[in-house]
Structure 1
């Protein structure tokens, strides 16, 4: 199985290196020359995307979202992709992924949208989880490729379904952060003990994994990067677009998104998503 990989950021880079350890040979590309050349010690580095297209039997994408994925698919479809497979690990707009799947199938290829859960450290050891959309037959036939970078996959349904379920999951997680970012400074302003707040919540039904991971960041102002704020904004905008397309309100989202957009206006877009707490602390404590 010849694997081509496009997009060597935090997640994609880790996945590519792990595949290289397993298969020994993988051809990779990133739009930034300095990034892709860092992989010359472990991978075959292509200077153009077309080199990767020609080489790969299975092409993997790890990109920010639909605006980056769609032009690559356009270029790919200008070549002969009959018999080839594409696995898009990006978190993209579900309706875009559905259209891409239709175009790829018409050209004789296979397409899966396989949104990931996990972090760069798990990418490097191949223990990510993927929520996969596409035909069931393609999902089953591409299990060997998926298993190169995941320890568990969830079949979500037809094309676009993987992105839909992942966006719903991210929506919940991102808005949890809004709640924590608001209540901790409010309790602090009123003289409350933040450690007692943490201990009580952690021992209750509200003490979920997200709380356990994010609340200490807010308490200590140590916002170690695990998920970039600009990616959180992108995911919320996709969910908002679903509401617009389907003519339904997304009122909770609008409130939370506003806080992230204020944070972006303050230059925090390349910081951890939890750093939205700085915005709330400034409003509440100052």
Structure 2
């Protein structure tokens, strides 16, 4: 583990790069973004011109990529990892993608004599830098054990999910719950403010009540400050919910809430909120209610109620 390959040097990948370097582990990296590659080089990573060039130098490669299509290209293309990685290498795939793509990649790697781990991660760039991510890991226990030292450098908690594809399933199921929690919280919170509750007082009460979620507690403390700086972008939330809908369709499973959640995040994207935090889904409800949740902004929300 003197040197690790890292393909994808964006927000999370860049954080993992810094974490590895801080722990004295060399990084051989690649990213299509020159800015991301330059930032990693300034940290001390060796930057190569392609995934294939990375694969020819190291025996362990971590990938952190934007979507299933790019994962398929990086792994399965003619110059991809399956074709170019050394036999006996281990590929650790951490992107948010569908489990079917993960299984396809895993089967191709196995046929080429290459080991693979299916990893789904939770956390933000700051947590990646500190090695405080949470990993769901699918793959053979022996292979996980062999790479446990590396996984523990990057993550504070590691959950074993089963075979290849299971970690991606857990990730998407969890994200459906998370996105749904925030959407319901947005609808409920604006209703409370519409009925005359002061936002900060309402937040303080709900954040210790039974309906709370982790994302409500952390996210809505910022919403009432009118702070939508992204820890998880609305555009990524919409990407993930579309993956969830595709997965449900592949499994012939008739989801009923997921399409509604998808439409809410789609509306937020159409409002130009794609770069904002995914709690921006609340803004559509604010518009409908004619008020804002920011507790320090003057509003007439509670004065417009109709009494029957």
> Taking structure 1 as the reference length, what is the TM-score of the superposition?
0.95
Unaligned runs of 5+ in 1: none
Residues 140-159 of structure 1 mapped to structure 2, 5 A cutoff = 140-159=145-164
Q: Match of 1:72, SS?
A: helix
Matched, 1:83 2:88: yes
CA distance in 2, matches of 1:273, 1:204: 22
Q: Match of 2:56, SS?
A: helix
CA distance in 2, matches of 1:82, 1:209: 42
CA distance in 1, matches of 2:183, 2:262: 9
Shift of 1:81: 3.3
Residues 246-261 of structure 1 mapped to structure 2, 5 A cutoff = 246-261=251-266
CA distance in 1, matches of 2:273, 2:85: 42
CA distance in 2, matches of 1:143, 1:194: 45
Matched, 1:164 2:164: no
Whichever of the two has the greater Rg, that structure is 2
Deviates further, 78-87 or 65-74: 78-87
Shift of 1:207: 3.0
Q: Match of 1:184, SS?
A: helix
2:205 pairs, out of 179, 200, 221, with: 200
1:228 pairs, out of 207, 229, 233, with: 233
Shift of 1:80: 4.8
Cα 1:224–1:80, aligned 2, differ >3 Å: closer, same or farther? closer
> Taking structure 2 as the reference length, what is the TM-score of the superposition?
0.88
Q: Which position in structure 2 is the counterpart of 1:21?
A: 22
Residues 75-224 of structure 1 mapped to structure 2, 5 A cutoff = 75-224=80-229
Matched, 1:58 2:64: no
Q: Which position in structure 1 is the counterpart of 2:47?
A: 45
Shift of 1:135: 2.1
Report the count of equivalent residues.
286
Shift of 1:189: 2.2
